[in-house]
Amino acid sequence: MSYIIQTKELSKLFKKTAAVDKLNLNVTKGDIYGFIGQNGSGKTTTIRMLLNLIKPSGGTVELFSETVSGGNIYRHLKKIGAIIETPGFYLNLSGEENLDIHRIMMDIPDRSSVDRALKLVGLSDQKGKKTQQYSLGMKQRLGIARALLHDPELLILDEPTNGLDPQGIVEIRDMLVNISKQGKTILISSHILSEIEKMVSRIGILHNGKLLEESSREDFRKKCGQSIQYRVSEPDKAAELIKKLVNGADISVNEDLVTLRITESDNNGKIIKLLVENDIEVKESKVIQASLEDYFIKLTGGSGHV
C-alpha cells in the first residue's frame, strides 16, 4: 500500500500538556481523508507538524513513503499544497493578479498555471474581479487555487468550509471531489461532520490529541448502524411486542414513534406483520441510517459540530 502521509507515535507537548498524543495516521494515495475532531482536538497542530511549521516532541512523519528530516523536507514540501486557517490576499488586486504574484514568489515559470488553477476551482469567470468583492466562499476557492498553482500531489486543507453558508459548503465539497478525480490526494480537517462524511473516502477521528479510530467511510457507516422508526397507534404495546420478537432489542419510545436500533433491516416485514396482527395501526415505517456525527458523539461523549 502506498502511503502519502504516515505518522508514527507523533506527539506534541506544550509545556506538560499533550496537544497530539502518539498519533499513527495513515493516508493512502488517492484518498480524500477526513481528519475530524472538535475544535482544540489537535488537528491544526498535527497539520503544522506535517508541514514542518512546528517540530514534534516525539515520533516521526513520513511523506511520500520517506521519513521527513531536515535534509529532505523542502523536496517533499514542493509536492504539497496547503491552506491553514483563512487565506489572505491583496484585496485591491484581482484574483488573477493575486495568484500571479504568488506564482512569481514560488518561482513557477509557467504563466498558464494561474489559468489552470482558476479553472480547477471554478473561478475562471471571476479572475478579473477585485478580491475585496469576493464572497467568503470565493476567497476559500481562491486560496485552494493558490495551493494548487504548482500542481502538487497532496493537498492539505485545515477547516476549508469554516464560516461558509450552506451553499458555499456545497460548492467547496463538490469542488474537492472534482479535484480528487484529477489524481490528487486530499487531507481535509473539519469539525463539521455532517458535511465531511459526504465527500471523504477515509476518516480518522481525533479526540484530545488521540486518534480514536481510522477506517474507510463504508466501514464507519456499518459501525454507525441503522434504526427503524414505526409511527403507530399504540406505541407502548408495540414496543413490548417488538422486544419479544427481536432478542436484545434496543428500543426507545417518543410519543407515537417507536425506534428500533438494528444492524440489518431484515426483520422489518416480520415486525409490521406482528403489529398488524395485534390490532396496532402502523401509520409509517422507515429505515434511518445513523450519521457519522451520531457515531462521533457516542464515541467521544461530546458534540459533533462545535
pLDDT digits (tens, 9 = 90+) for 42-100: 999 999 999 999 999 999 999 999 999 877 888 898 999 999 877 889 999 999 999 99
Asked whether the predicted pLDDT for residue 230 surpasses 60, the reply is: yes
Pairing of strands 58-63, 3-14: antiparallel
- Give the chain's domains with CATH numbers: 3-222 (3.40.50.300), 226-289 (3.30.70.100)
- Beta strands across the sheet bearing 210-216: 80-84, 154-158, 185-190, 32-36, 202-207, 210-216
φ/ψ of 85, rounded to 5, equals 65, -155
Pairing of strands 154-158, 185-190: parallel
pLDDT digits (tens, 9 = 90+) for 98-149: 999 999 999 999 999 999 999 989 899 998 999 999 988 899 899 999 999 9
